[in-house]
Amino acid sequence: MFSNKYILLYAAATVVLVAFALTLVAVQLKPYQEKNIRIEKIQNILASVNITSSKKDAEELYKKYITKTIVINSEGKEIDSIDAFKIDLAVELKKPIEKRLLPIFICTQDNGEKNYSVPLRGKGLWGPIWGYISFKNDFNTISGAIFDHKSETPGLGAEINTQKFQKQFFQKNIFDNKGNFVSVKALKNMSIKDSHTVDAISGGTITSNGLNQMLFDCLKMYEKYFKQKAK
């Protein structure tokens, strides 16, 4: 039989051994994992300004096209000395609105046109949804949008990450004729066809509503800055 002392020592030794092995693995693999997350973010930003990239050329294309990044606060003031790329919107959204840091990624296309891409984050039906949306230099017309989700229903809400849905946002406006912020909404059966609505996904009503809320809330934070710049 095993004595109590043996059992305690045995348990302690195994724990230490396993902890050591896991730490070793985690430390060794961390650079690779961080690179993956970075590349994914880059690919999303590039996709929102309509540049397709592969895992290999993402870094290169990012350097080439994203010519400037800025960080602003909700008052629309630019804040220096913070790397826009390192800002995690999920963290920022937990802060009170006046303390939030909001990144903008400025892309210069081959023809010299500038697009301004901003991150989005909100709630879907089952979990978080997020994306990037980019604007032309009138800070009103959408030039591209990309959405993704953690666990929306396949075939229904999960369709927000398809090109078919995302393409609808192209050329839509977030300000109305009088210059008031109205955002863009995905609506059922498209009863109102104007430049602020797109066709929602049938069967994905709650995801669509979450998406509308996300667009409204996130873009609202940029409203002041966009208005200043558009003048």
Partner 1 sequence: MNQEKRESLFSKKYLKLLKKPLNLNNPISVQVLGICSALAVTVQMKPAIVMALSVTVVTGFSCLIISSIRNTIAPNIRIIVQLMVVAALVIIVDQILKAFVYDVSKKLSVYVGLIITNCIILGRVEAFAMGNKPWASFIDGIGNGFGYGLVLIIVSFFRELLGSGKILGHQVIPKALYNAGYINNGLMILPPMALIIIGVIIWIQRSKNPELIDKG
Residues near partner 1 (CB under 8 A):
2, 6-7, 10-11, 14-15, 18, 21-22, 25-26, 29, 32-33, 36-37, 40, 150-151, 154-155
Give the type of residue at 215: L
Beta carbon nearer to partner 1, 111 or 163: 163
Q: How far apart are CA 161 and CA 107, in angstroms?
A: 22
Report the residue number, 34 or 194, with the smaller CB distance to partner 1: 34
* Least distance from partner 1 to the Cβ atom of residue 167, Å: 19
Distance CA 21, CA 13 (A): 12
Nearer to partner 1, 29 or 91 (CB): 29
Beta carbons of 143 and 170 less than 8 angstroms apart: yes
The answer for residues whose C-beta is within 8 angstroms of residue 166's C-beta and 6 or more apart is 144, 145, 146, 147, 160
Q: Which is nearer to partner 1, 25 or 230 (CB)?
A: 25
Q: How far is the CB of 128 from partner 1 (least distance, A)?
A: 12
Structure tokens belonging to residue 119: 């991150």
**Shortest Å, Cβ 170 to partner 1:** 25
To the nearest whole angstrom, how small is the minimum distance from the Cβ of residue 55 to partner 1? Answer: 9
Query: CB 28 → partner 1: shortest distance, Å?
Result: 9
Give just the sign of the alpha carbon dihedral 161, 155, 123, 182.
positive
Q: 155 or 179, CB closer to partner 1? A: 155
Find how far residue 122's CA is from the centre of its chain.
9
Report the alpha-carbon distance of residue 166 to residue 28 in Å, rounded: 38
